[in-house]
Amino acid sequence: MVYEPEHLTGTGISAGRPVKCIPPDHTVAIHSGYQLDENDYRDVKALCDRFGLSLPEAYLLLPGTGGVFGSRLEGG
């Protein structure tokens, strides 16, 4: 992944101090292009839920949607 200047414009708080970070939409975008697993799903789903982002199409085939992991992540 090559980071462009706009990928490094986010801000956050760590240990009470402001820090620069990758904005959530770019973080979600870089979680693609490889074999996705349960951890990827959880990370991306949490970001999307927290920041009101749409779950990327690749993740629509994963848990809770009848995808490759079935109901394992949903407690079934």
pLDDT tens-place string over residues 24-62: 999 998 888 888 888 888 899 899 999 999 988 888 876
Handedness of CA 28, 65, 58, 43 (dihedral sign): positive
Q: Which carries the bigger pLDDT value, residue 6 or residue 11?
A: 11
Q: In terms of residue numbers, what domain contains 59? A: 5-70
H or E element in which residue 53 lies: none
Is residue 76 assigned to a domain?
no
Number of other residues whose CB lies within 10 A of the CB of residue 4? 9
Write down the pLDDT at residue 67. Answer: 54
Angstrom CA distances, 60 to 23, 32, 35, 45, 56, stand at 22, 12, 14, 10, 7
Q: How many domains does the chain have?
A: 1
The answer, yes or no, to whether residue 75 has pLDDT greater than 90, is: no
Specify if 55 maps to a domain: yes
Is 75 within a domain? no
pLDDT above 80 (res 70):
no
Q: Which pLDDT belongs to residue 32?
A: 81
CA distance 12 to 61: 31
In-domain check, residue 23: yes
Quote the radius of gyration of the chain (alpha carbons, Å): 14
pTM: 0.68
